[in-house]
Amino acid sequence: MSIPLEDNFTDIIGKAQRGLQISDSQLADKSGASTEAIRRLHEGEFHRPTIEQIAPILQLNSESLTALAEQQWQPDEVQLEGLAQFNTPYHDMMVNAYLVWDPATKDAVAFDTGGDCSALLERSEAAGLTIRLILLTHSHPDHVADLDRLIRETAAPVYLSKRESVPQAEPITAGEVFDVGGLTIEPILTCGHSPGGLTYFIRGLDQPVAIVGDSLFAGSMGGGNVSYEDALRNNLEKIMTLPNDTILCPGHGPITTVLEEKRHNPFFAGAASFSTGLK
């Protein structure tokens, strides 16, 4: 069964408003929409004319936001040999972890732990994999909840951005490269949601893969808890400029691709730096 999108249109509007520090009254003044109409949007009542009024002020693509509000888009399911997603509960949310491996050598890397790494460990054992590394996208509790167990079961070293800390994790910086089997893994700094959020860009499978953590979601992005400006810029300059066929593996919600996000993510669809030639 496919994993639902992490954010609905009200979540996206809220993230943009908070990030840009625009109140409802300011949004009404700038857009010409009434505060009552904006309030109804926040309550989940879709109204296309109001969306079209406020989207430019919030630097969102109104067509993509409308499509999400009308539930017209979900990324196509992605299947790739050497990649597995694990969607597990953590308190009142669902969170993702990933296994990536070289199908020839069976050398594997675990990315985050999710709320429970049981399924990840079971898949690894069933496929005859050896987990050589544990790479963390960031240190938020939902992403490292089962780290002690994953370390105990695999004896693999753990790495995390030097800007954040987790017990037993060794610090790394963007640009360092890991070679695991025939895979090459490059950490890219995509901070903004967290102080040292990393995206791991992986070459060596039939398609490139990027484990993006909470930097970007299918059709949305993580909240700019540390810096909304940095979160937007890093997503735009460092994730959305990866090859179009790059498979994006977010910390919440379904897997997507760079091309899908260029076309359908309200935060990035139509961005001048890469919109030319897309249909």
Identify the CATH number of the domain in which residue 170 sits: 3.60.15.10
DSSP state of 142: H
Structural domain includes residue 210: yes
Q: What is the pLDDT of residue 218?
A: 98
Longest CA pairwise span in the chain (Å) = 60
Q: How many domains in the chain?
A: 2
Whether 154 and 59 map to the same domain: the answer is no
What is the pLDDT, as a whole number, of residue 271? 72
166 and 251 co-located in one domain: yes
What confidence score (pLDDT) does residue 2 get?
85
What pLDDT score does 79 carry?
Answer: 92
In this structure, the answer to whether residues 26 and 151 fall within a common structural domain is no
Q: Which of 17, 45, 69 is the last residue of a domain?
A: 69
> Residue 239 falls within a domain, yes or no?
yes
CA 279 – CA 276 distance, rounded (Å): 9
**Contact predicate 198/187, CB 8 Å:** yes
pLDDT digit string, tens, across residues 64-74 = 999 999 999 99
192 lies in a domain?
yes
Residues of the chain with pLDDT under 50: 272, 274-279
How far apart CA 61 and CA 128 sit, in angstroms, is: 45
- Both 94 and 183 in one domain: the answer is yes
61 and 112 housed in the same domain: no
Domain span at residue 31? Answer: 9-69
- Please indicate, yes or no, if residue 154 is contained in any of the structural domains: yes
